[in-house]
Amino acid sequence: MVRSFAGALAVLALLLAAPLAAGQESKSVWGRTLDAVDSTTPFPVGTKEEQDQGWFSGSWDGVKQLWRDGTHDVYLSGYTWHLPYAYSTAERREENANTWGAGFGKTMTDERDNQRSLYAMVIEDSNFKVQYSAGYAWMARWRVVSDVRVGLGYTAALISRADYWHHVPFPAVLPLASIGNNTFGVFATFIPGSANILYFFGRVTFDAK
């Protein structure tokens, strides 16, 4: 149930924050959803010349543009809440909740105040082992008061852990939520399946515009 709710929130964010293209009103809900998802990828950031070469060329160029022109970010990890419905009290005592670590990334903010990010992080996981991750994130944001914004989106990442195939990287797509301003934000993601955890981390931006 929690997993379905998180997925529904991410799709809702895409539909609310993605711009409506000309003629899109005549498309089906499924077609509009696909267009909304596509608008959150790196493809729209790529140059027109690369976009004309196809989706992969446009997206790869978008990644390069994001890495070249994005702000400089430092990520600080973090805290992991092992959800009580999935872990006994004894099991929660044995898990590592203070998943310390750090990372680096680049972020680009578009004209709708939504953000695209590239990042890489190294943290201590729930089993007190080193975990590596690198990926892309998209976040729709809404101003709530002064400079403070709340956000909802997703991340697509490669993750490497000791307890999964001895650090062979595997892909993951996870929901993201945030609160903060352009300089500092606190992020949270829900990791379902065998993990069933909420993971919290921070991001500091040094050249926010």
* pLDDT tens per residue across span 35-87: 888 899 999 999 999 999 999 999 999 999 999 999 999 999 989 999 999 99
Catalytic residue among 39, 59, 117, 126: 126
Q: How confident is the model at residue 5 (pLDDT cuts 50, 70, 90)?
A: very low
Q: How confident is the model at residue 95 (pLDDT cuts 50, 70, 90)?
A: very high
Last residue of a domain, one of 66, 81, 115: 66
Identify the domain containing residue 182 by its residue range.
Answer: 71-205
- Identify whether residues 78 and 100 lie together within a single domain: yes
Annotation marks residue 126 as catalytic? yes
pLDDT of residue 193: 85
Catalytic residue among 59, 61, 73, 125: 125
Residue 15 has pLDDT above 70, yes or no: no
Last residue of a domain, one of 21, 38, 66: 66
- Identify whether residues 143 and 42 lie together within a single domain: no
Annotation marks residue 125 as catalytic? yes
Mean pLDDT across 1-23:
48
- Number of structural domains in the chain: 2
In DSSP terms, which residues pair with 208 in a beta bridge?
Answer: none
In terms of Cα–Cα distance, which of 101, 169, 185, 81 is closest to 137? 185
- Identify whether residues 48 and 62 lie together within a single domain: yes
In DSSP terms, which residues pair with 134 in a beta bridge?
Answer: 120, 158
Note the pTM of the prediction, 2 decimals.
0.85
What Rg, from alpha-carbon coordinates, does the chain have?
18
Q: How confident is the model at residue 125 (pLDDT cuts 50, 70, 90)?
A: very high
For residue 116, what are the contacts with CB-CB under 8 A and spacing of at least 6?
A: 40, 42, 45, 62, 66, 70, 107, 108, 110, 136, 137, 138, 139
For residue 183, what are the contacts with CB-CB under 8 A and spacing of at least 6?
A: 204, 205, 208
pLDDT of residue 32: 77
- Identify whether residues 84 and 62 lie together within a single domain: no
- CA gap 206, 184 in Å, rounded: 9
Q: How confident is the model at residue 17 (pLDDT cuts 50, 70, 90)?
A: low
Residue 199 has pLDDT above 90, yes or no: yes
- Identify whether residues 106 and 201 lie together within a single domain: yes
Residue 115 has pLDDT above 70, yes or no: yes
Q: What letters, b where the CB count within 10 A reaches 16 and e where it falls short, cover 90-107? A: eeeeebeeebebebebbb
Catalytic residue among 82, 117, 133, 178: 82
